[in-house]
Amino acid sequence: MSISISRRSFLASCGLGLAAGLAGCSTQGGGSAGGTAGSATEAGYTLVEPGKLTMISNFYFPPFVSMNADTGDYEGFDVDLYKAVCEKLGLEPNILPTVQFDTIVPTIKQGGKADVSLGAVTITDKRLQEIDFSDPYLDSNQAIVVKQGSAATTADALNASGTQIAVQSGTTGEAWSRENLPNATIVPLDDIIQCLTGVQTGLYAASVCDLPVASYEISSAYADLVIPDGGQIPTGEQYGIVVSKDNPKLTQAINDALVELQSDGTQDQIEQKWFGSTI
């Protein structure tokens, strides 16, 4: 089950009050407050490395997180948002090598390796039992993706014995598929690229994944795949930044930064860059 508070409604309801106190809020993690280990302690939150906000993610989820094949640099909407948060907090970005998606929550919960995770991570009640999330910063839904010309394109048609549905392991796409396609065979894979390539080659009948990712990949790399009529699944999901429950003041500092990024137009600029419009 996903938490479904509209990002823009949330910001609208609290933005005026927070905007008035942004200068005070930003001293919690902004300017020189996050510059050294000592100042981080004064700010009230802890960091894996002094002066740095260390991030982990699964970098096979474009356009949110991916690796540039030419430069080897990490890029995407969430990477840019993360760097913008770092700037607001006065911290240096520190991105660790890619990890499997289903290891992210346990890693943040355990602590000692990374401070945060971004990468289209949906806020769910189950995950909130283990870790904290920032306030939601983007809305999303799920989508069914099939190959053009496929006979089975609806959930009812795909919910059949012997039908294989590819999903990224540990995602809400997997959870939705297991709940709504009980007769099909759900195949969890390491990343969404494997899922979509498997559908493209005919290995799988369909994939269920985040709608923004499906739309991006179809437009940029998988022209022979489609989201069929009725293939958009209105799950009402929202993405948040993953933070340890043991670091509540870091969560608060990130929330303050997100409000400021929305109020000063930075997030809109990042959305325009990666999606062609604000979401």
**Secondary structure of residue 211 in the 3-state scheme:** helix
Residue 159 and residue 173 in one domain: yes
pLDDT of residue 279: 76
The answer on 115 and 11 residing in a single domain is yes
pTM: 0.80
Same domain, 86 and 194: no
Residue 49 covered by a domain: yes
**Residues 159 and 79 grouped into a single domain:** no
26 and 108 share one domain: yes
pLDDT reported for residue 23: 32
pLDDT for residue 277: 84
Based on the domain organization, do 111 and 209 belong to the same domain?
A: no
List of the chain residues with pLDDT < 70: 1-41
The CATH number that applies at residue 42 is 3.40.190.10
Q: Is 1 a member of any domain? A: no
Residue 200 is assigned to a structural domain of this protein = yes
Residues 71, 86 within the same domain: yes
Residue 2 lies in a domain: no
Q: Are residues 18 and 148 in the same domain?
A: no
Residue 64 lies in a domain: yes
pLDDT of the residue at 169: 96
Statement to judge: residues 149 and 105 lie in one domain: no
Which among 220, 236, 252 is the end of a domain? 236
Q: Find the domain containing 64 and state its range.
A: 7-137+240-275
For residue 235, the model assigns a pLDDT of: 95
Question: Is residue 51 in a domain?
Answer: yes
**CA–CA separation, 15 vs 195, rounded Å?**
39
Q: Are residues 18 and 60 in the same domain?
A: yes
In a domain, 81, yes or no: yes
Peptide bond into 63 cis (omega under 30): yes
- Report if residue 225 sits inside a domain: yes
105-114 LR contacts (CB < 8 Å, sep 24+): 105/130, 105/131, 105/242, 106/130, 107/56, 108/56, 108/242, 108/243, 108/244, 109/244, 109/245, 111/244, 111/246, 112/48, 113/48, 113/54, 113/56, 114/48, 114/54, 114/55, 114/56
Helices (H), 97-191: 104-110, 125-128, 155-158, 172-180
- Same domain, residue pair 126 and 261: yes
Q: Are residues 147 and 100 in the same domain?
A: no
- Domains held by the chain: number: 2
